[in-house]
Amino acid sequence: MKTYIITGASKGLGKGLAEQCMKKGNCCILLARSFSQEFKDFAKITGCKVIYIEADLSIPHEAEKAAAKISSHLQDATDEVYLINNAGMIDPIKPAGQLGRETLEKSMNLNFLAPVLLMNVFISQLEDKDMKKVVVNVSSGAALRPISGWSAYCSTKAGLEMFTRTAALEQKSAKLQVSIISFSPGIMDTGMQERIRSAEERDFADSAMFKGYKEQGLLRTPVLVSEKLYQLIHQNKLENGKFYDIKELI
């Protein structure tokens, strides 16, 4: 039985990937703040075992509880196991000096602390199991370069990117390795892009450029990107620590 753990699974890329993974004989452990009845009805007809964990991962104690629940389910894993850290937030979109503490803290928790906590549990629980074990941290080009107005987003994604590389490096000396990669989905037609386009130009200098992406039809669908990610993680050989970009896969 293949087991998939997906955060941010109720919408966007996470939802698209969950629908790819929900096949008969598989187990999907899905995390989100809430799930629609329509989503649950779809899951029922797939024949997949689905475990819902409703949690706000931007709140540390909820992230810790979610990690504990995942840990208990990982004990039953017998075949391939995948952790996809997809949940994230773009806010606060403000220049440094104008960042609100509460939103900044949520950004740090959701974009960095929560995926690190889940990775830590995943590696700890599975280090002695001889099976395919894969961690995917959904990243961004913003992890690799500064973007004005995105100081929090760039910093948290950069932090997660370095954690990914470091953890992957550590796995070289492990007897039964976990494959740990980053995946950049590029610009997708999601709620995050809506939020970016709604940002004031005084807060986000590239506002017009992102509006242009939408107007020119350059945004990829979450369905397409999730299909490519699904194909990627099931290939025979992943390069540990690599930053995979959607542009390389289409």
**Per-residue pLDDT at 1 exceeds 90:** no
- Judge whether 213 counts as a catalytic residue: no
Q: Is residue 126 part of a domain?
A: yes
**Domain CATH for 12:** 3.40.50.720
**Comparison of pLDDT for 174 and 76, the residue scoring more:** 174
Total domains present in the chain: 1
Q: Is residue 230 part of a domain?
A: yes
Q: Is residue 201 part of a domain?
A: no
What residues make up the domain containing 241?
A: 3-190+221-248
Q: Is residue 70 part of a domain?
A: yes
- Residue 117 and residue 64 in contact, taking contact as beta carbons nearer than 8 Å: yes
Q: What is the pLDDT of residue 76?
A: 83
- Residue 116 and residue 163 in contact, taking contact as beta carbons nearer than 8 Å: yes
pLDDT band at 77 (very low <50, low <70, confident <90, very high): confident
Q: What is the pLDDT of residue 148?
A: 98
Full strand arrangement of the beta sheet holding 133-138: 49-54, 27-32, 3-7, 81-85, 133-138, 179-184, 243-245
Q: What is the pLDDT of residue 73?
A: 93
Q: How many Å from the N-terminal Cα to the C-terminal Cα in the chain?
A: 29
Q: Is residue 83 part of a domain?
A: yes
DSSP letter string over 185-217?
A: --SBSSHHHHHHHHS-TTT-TTHHHHHHHHHTT
For 81-104, what is each residue's pLDDT tens digit?
A: 999 999 999 999 999 999 999 999
Q: Is residue 200 part of a domain?
A: no
Dihedral through CA 63, CA 68, CA 69, CA 74, nearest 10? 120
CA distance 225 to 185: 6
pLDDT band at 139 (very low <50, low <70, confident <90, very high): very high
For 171-223, what is each residue's pLDDT tens digit?
A: 999 999 999 999 999 999 999 999 999 999 999 999 999 999 999 999 999 99
Q: Is residue 209 part of a domain?
A: no
Percent pLDDT > 70 in the chain is 100
Q: What is the pLDDT of residue 178?
A: 98
* Catalytic residue from among 82, 153, 230, 244: 153
